[in-house]
A and B are shown apart, each in its own frame.
Chain A
Amino acid sequence: MKNNVIEVRNVFRYFGEVLAVDDVTLIVLKGETLGLIGHNGAGKSTLFRMMLGLIPPTSGEININGTPVHGGAFRELRRSIGYLPENVVFYDNLTGLETLQFFAALKGCERDKCLPLLEKVGLAQAANRRVDGYSKGMRQRLGFAQALLGKPRILFLDEPTTGLDPEGIREFYCILQELNAQGVTVVITSHILSEIQERVQRLAVLKSGKLHALGTVQELRESVDLPLIIRVRQLCPPETLQEVLQGVALEELTLEGNAAVIRCHRTQKMEVLRRLATLGDALEDVVVREPTLEDVFLGYAG
């Protein structure tokens, strides 16, 4: 398929007796941003390392742009792949600029592209300082600049925003959006799920090495069927509230003075709201909380 950039087919990976990746099949489309989520030890990093051809799968096949990641032909393709490892570590004795120039030389891209890249990630001021004086956030920025060397068409970003301050995170996603608009394919892992929720097109949930779910945030939410939570503050007595909601299928109704928490299926949402509206002025406040990706994630992977 022309639009398949990354194809992972029936991949297993054992470490000794331990099954780290269990029959994963996953297709990433051109220009797509895919979020890979899962608990520590769920097999994310192993899958990442296999997709980059760093370790071979025990069985199964992985192709990028139709090229097996474990052949000699993959070397050329590496020039168009950017990779930011988790907790990236650089050489303390080099400056930021030298670090970038070293990787630029390996990637076969021009040295004079390095300084503009440092500017792009906000490190121009520190370009000639040694990396051992860099903060965690600065190292992460340098790592990102490194991943962007040579205008990659595919980006693998492992926990890219660890150590970044909110400003840094915002800038990071700005750049990512820009790249996405240029058709760059991105695979990203993150523990801060609320953060990637709005920034990825699809999510892949790994649990104990298995691909547990795959789809858009909306699809995942619907498929796990988590109840909505509706918080109410009313001026009427609790009994009135109970009476109003009589006959609606609720999962749970907790009453506490003039506050109430209603848990119900999403299909009941409008019915509950309509009933609540009949309270008129007695209804002081209503807050509807949709299940977050965290809930979905915990529902799946917890």
Chain B
Amino acid sequence: MSNIEIAQIKVIAAKEFRDRIRNRWVIAVAFIFTAFALAIAYFGSAQQGEVGLRNIEVTIASLVSLVIYLIPLIALILGYDAIVGERERGSLDLLLSMPITRLELLLGKFLGLSAALASATLAGFGLVGLLLAYQIDLGALYHYAGFMVSAILLGMVFLSLALMVSVMSKDRARASGGAISVWFLFVLVYDLTLLGVLVLSGGSFGEELFPLLLLLNPADIFRILNIFSMEDLKVFYGLATVYPASLSSPWLLGSIMIAWIVMPLTVALWRFK
């Protein structure tokens, strides 16, 4: 295995990022985030009979529910084409005939796309954060910042999965099918299955196992990261009853997220060779 040349990763990443800026992908996604976040922040507490920028914890909780659906979907759409698209167009051979390794190409694609998604996330939610900053205290702002960082991590996890799908797929049609399947699995099917098992077994199934099973799903980790840190919501969501505090350290959860970024990329590299 030859050495990694950072310069080559940078060339690929810069191209991917510039492409997304130029075709207005970043600004479009940022706009979607801003619009949703504003609507949620403003109308989020309507069920309590009031509208306006008030309760940051409820706002974050609503945003978390939104982001859990939206960000994985956007990341998968962004990344599924990255390798298989080059292969189908016929430009992959040309790229690989350059002095670049497959690892560098993969990392360049991943980091460039991550930068695009992170910029859209920061711009979109950051704008709303600035608006909120006038209304809320520092502690709440800290939570909001944590929410943004974890949203970026969540996006990177699903980008990593998207690249894995992209490497393993024969053509773009299959890759898009694979990406949608990944979304269904982690965002819908996984939780519903867990819930079903829990309900059917009358709550007796795997009291020990359940929290660990939640850690196997990056979307759930994202939820726990954001909800568990806020006392009011924990009770509100009923999370405290099923999830032990011992497993809720942001560092632990963050590390698992990072493992979720590294693993699919590793599989992708292995299959790429």
Q: Which chain A residues have a beta carbon within 8 Å of chain B's beta carbons?
A: 49, 52-54, 72-73, 75-76, 78-79, 81, 83, 85, 87-91, 93, 102-103, 105-108, 146
Task: Tell me, in angstroms, the Cα distance from A268 to B134 when the chains sit together.
Answer: 102
**Which residues of the other chain, B, contact A91 by a CB distance below 8 angstroms?**
19, 91
Q: Which one of A73, A75, A88 lies within 8 Å of B94 (CB-CB)?
A: A88
B169 within 8 A of A: no
Known: A93-B22, A105-B11, A106-B8. A75 touches B90 (CB 8 A): no
Q: Which of B62-70, B97-105, B149-157, B211-219 contacts A (4 or more CB under 8 A)?
A: B97-105
The answer to whether A103 and B98 touch across the interface, beta carbons within 8 angstroms, is yes
**Which residues of the other chain, B, contact A88 by a CB distance below 8 angstroms?**
90-91, 94
Task: Tell me, in angstroms, the Cα distance from A72 to B2 when the chains sit together.
Answer: 5
B1 within 8 A of A: yes
**Which residues of the other chain, A, contact B1 by a CB distance below 8 angstroms?**
72
The answer to whether B89 and A89 touch across the interface, beta carbons within 8 angstroms, is yes
**Which residues of the other chain, A, contact B95 by a CB distance below 8 angstroms?**
106
Task: Name the residue on B nearest A149 (C-beta).
Answer: B98
Closest chain-B Cβ to A155's Cβ sits at a distance in Å of 12
Closest chain-B Cβ to A59's Cβ sits at a distance in Å of 18
Closest chain-B Cβ to A73's Cβ sits at a distance in Å of 8
Query: Can you list 8 A-B contacts with CB-CB less than 8 angstroms, sorted by A residue number?
Result: A72-B3, A75-B101, A78-B99, A79-B99, A85-B94, A87-B90, A91-B19, A106-B95
Interface members, chain B 153-200 (any A CB < 8 Å):
none
B96 within 8 A of A: yes
**Which residues of the other chain, A, contact B137 by a CB distance below 8 angstroms?**
none
Nearest 6 A/B pairs, CB to CB: A72-B2, A78-B99, A106-B98, A83-B97, A105-B11, A89-B89
Known: A72-B2, A93-B22. A107 touches B99 (CB 8 A): yes
The answer to whether B99 and A106 touch across the interface, beta carbons within 8 angstroms, is yes
The answer to whether B100 and A49 touch across the interface, beta carbons within 8 angstroms, is no
Task: Name the residue on A nearest B99 (C-beta).
Answer: A78
The answer to whether B91 and A54 touch across the interface, beta carbons within 8 angstroms, is no
**Which residues of the other chain, B, contact A102 by a CB distance below 8 angstroms?**
11, 15
Closest chain-B Cβ to A162's Cβ sits at a distance in Å of 13
Task: Tell me, in angstroms, the Cα distance from A93 to B3 when the chains sit together.
Answer: 31
Task: Tell me, in angstroms, the Cα distance from A108 to B104 when the chains sit together.
Answer: 15
B241 within 8 A of A: no
**Most chain A CB within a 10 A radius of its CB, from B11, B15, B23, B98:** B98
B93 within 8 A of A: yes
**Which residues of the other chain, B, contact A54 by a CB distance below 8 angstroms?**
93, 96-97
Task: Name the residue on A nearest B3 (C-beta).
Answer: A72
Q: Which one of A49, A75, A85, A89 lies within 8 Å of B99 (CB-CB)?
A: A75
**Which residues of the other chain, B, contact A107 by a CB distance below 8 angstroms?**
98-99
Task: Tell me, in angstroms, the Cα distance from A72 to B101 when the chains sit together.
Answer: 9
Task: Tell me, in angstroms, the Cα distance from A90 to B94 when the chains sit together.
Answer: 9
Task: Tell me, in angstroms, the Cα distance from A107 to B98 when the chains sit together.
Answer: 6
Task: Tell me, in angstroms, the Cα distance from A177 to B210 when the chains sit together.
Answer: 72
Interface members, chain B 69-117 (any A CB < 8 Å):
89-91, 93-101
Closest chain-B Cβ to A91's Cβ sits at a distance in Å of 7
Known: A76-B99, A93-B23, A107-B99. A85 touches B8 (CB 8 A): no
**Which residues of the other chain, A, contact B11 by a CB distance below 8 angstroms?**
102, 105-106
The answer to whether B98 and A78 touch across the interface, beta carbons within 8 angstroms, is yes
Task: Tell me, in angstroms, the Cα distance from A15 to B96 when the chains sit together.
Answer: 20
Task: Name the residue on A nearest B2 (C-beta).
Answer: A72
Q: Which one of B12, B90, B100 lies within 8 Å of A85 (CB-CB)?
A: B90
Task: Tell me, in angstroms, the Cα distance from A107 to B99 when the chains sit together.
Answer: 6
